Amino acid sequence: MSNLLIVKGHFLYTKTAEKFEVHKDMFLVSIDGIVEGIYPTVPDRFKGAQVQDYGDRLIIPGFVDLHLHASQFLQCGVGMTKQLLDWLNDYTFDLEREFQNLEFARKAYSCFADKMVACGTLRSCIFASSSTAGTEVLFDVLKEKGIGAYVGKVNMDQNGPDFITETTEKSLEGTKYLINKFKDEPLVKPIITPRFAPSCSTELLRGLGKLALEYQLPVQSHLSENIDEVKWVQSLFESAKNYSDIYLTNNLYGQTKTIMAHAIYLDDDEKKLALKMDPFLVHCPDSNINVRSGIMPVREYLNMGLKIGLGSDIAGGHKMGLNEAMVRAIQLSKLVALNDEELQPLTIAEVFYMATKGGGSFFGKTGSFEKGFLFDALVIEDDNMIAEMYSLEDRLEKFIYTGDDRNIIARYVEGKCLSPIASRT
């Protein structure tokens, strides 16, 4: 049989955001990278096949980070006393300039990708930099690592420093070049990436929307992240109904699959629009605290039925890996609930769902071990002293809160075991 994989261990995943599915001491069968089923014993038809036995370890779906900046990885934890716009001007843009140097880009992007694999982020939606050649390097590095990603060249033709701002034509031309080069890749694919409304002229936004429609490509950007940013957008786009409308009117908001990071300060019209256009809104709690942006009203959005994923927003967020984002999302939701009892704090199952199946649905069937899903998985080793004392769910909670890349002993993408990696912190 082609590409049969049988894995034994304790499987935990969230079919819905309400609760964990827990399968203790079971055998998961994957064929050609797709989950066939989970069984108490190896079914007769697979008898004789080799079993990869992970003993008492936990096996969970790989994490899906719906928003981060690869070109900012080296800056993690730097400039953390600044507000968003100062942080971008004083630190971030200078670092992003370096990615025009392809030797630097290869080195820095390799560190980034190794850390991502180490942390179990097996699918992600990534901003590269405005350099077309630098972004091409990121595609190549990620392809070599064997993880899934959408990668965007960052489009900017105004209101940024000259050294990373392109002409409208050059920005569109570079985007088109990368689309044509990578659009048929199986794992690492292009995504249209206007940095945010202030960085883009209407002409550039219109051109990008056209490309999204023409090539049927997804879109990612930032939306309503920070009060100063929102005010700036209002002054730049005086005739726009609201921030979301700038993307909407240029075919960059739900006309194709869309990700908007942050979406903290949406007004009522924008909330209705989000329901209608159905973007993925990405909660990036660490970043929102670090650069003093605010708190996404996650419970309100979930109650409305909006799609919410999680993002590290490296380097607004200071740590790679979604353990951090899951914990911080819960902590923030508890603070919010102190002031409003109706807004129930997020549960472990809810944030885990966002970090796996919820965000994963942007990629298709990943983030769960239901039949028909891609077998993207992490094998977690915790302290064997606690393994006897706690339930499997408690052990997973403990990994989320206190664990990190050192607890992940194996990673699978579409049934393929990734090679071991050495990562930097």
69 binds ligand GUN (CB under 6 A): yes
Subset of residues 277 to 316 that bind ligand GUN, contact rule: CB under 6 A: 287, 313, 316
Reduced to 3 states, what is the DSSP secondary structure of residue 58?
strand
Binding residues for ligand GUN, total number by CB under 6 A: 11
Binding span for ligand GUN by CB under 6 A among 84-92, 210-218, 271-279, 297-305: 84-92
Q: Half-sphere exposure of residue 336, counting CA atoms within 13 Å on the CB side? A: 19
CB of 2 vs ligand GUN, minimal distance in Å = 43
Say whether residue 412 binds ligand GUN (CB under 6 A): no
Contact between 289 and 84 under an 8 Å Cβ cutoff? The reply is no
One-letter amino acid of 150: Y
Shortest Cβ 246–ligand GUN spacing (Å): 14
Query: Any contact of residue 225 with ligand GUN (CB under 6 A)?
Result: yes
**If binding is defined by CB under 6 A, does position 92 make contact with ligand GUN?**
yes
Residue 263 tokens, joined: 């979406």
Distance between CA 364 and CA 77 in Å, rounded?
Answer: 33
- Give 68's strand partners: 126
For 272, the token pair is 């209705």
Nearest CB to ligand GUN, comparing residues 157 and 225: 225
Strand partners, 12: 22
Task: Give CA–CA dist 398/192, Å, rounded.
Answer: 37
Binding site for Fe ion (CB under 5 A): 313
CA distance 29 to 170: 48
**Of residues 228-287, those binding ligand GUN (CB under 6 A):** 287
Interaction partner, residue 225 (ligand GUN, Fe ion, none; CB < 5-8 Å by kind): ligand GUN
Tokens in use for 268? Answer: 């009522």
* Closest CB 287 distance from ligand GUN, rounded Å: 5
Single-letter residue type at 55: G
Distance in Å, CB of 201 to ligand GUN, minimum: 15
| Choice from 99, 196, 243, 353 touching ligand GUN (CB under 6 A) | 196
CB 78 within 8 A of CB 91: yes
- 204-223 binders of ligand GUN (CB under 6 A): 222
Q: Is 395 in the site for ligand GUN (CB under 6 A)?
A: no
For residue 300, give the nearest of 325, 315, 286, 281 by alpha carbon.
281
Interface with ligand GUN in residues 345-384 (CB under 6 A): none
Q: How far is the CB of 171 from ligand GUN (least distance, A)?
A: 15
Strand, coil or helix: 28 = strand
Q: Which is nearer to ligand GUN, 117 or 260 (CB)?
A: 260
Task: Show Cβ contacts of residue 397 under 8 Å, excluding neighbours closer than 6 positions.
Answer: 348
- Check binding of 93 to ligand GUN (CB under 6 A): no
Which is closer to ligand GUN, CB of 71 or CB of 132? 71
∠ CA 226-228-231 to the nearest 5 degrees? 110
Strand, coil or helix: 215 = helix
Would you say 157 or 229 has its CB closer to Fe ion? Answer: 229
C-beta closer to ligand GUN: residue 117 or 261: 261
Q: Are 164 and 199 in contact (CB under 8 A)?
A: no
Q: Which is nearer to ligand GUN, 29 or 204 (CB)?
A: 204
Q: Does 23 bind ligand GUN (CB under 6 A)?
A: no
Question: Site for ligand GUN (CB under 6 A): which residue of 57, 115, 153, 195?
Answer: 195
- Integer Cα distance of 37 and 352 in angstroms: 21
Q: Which residues bind ligand GUN (CB under 6 A)?
A: 69, 84, 88, 92, 195-196, 222, 225, 287, 313, 316
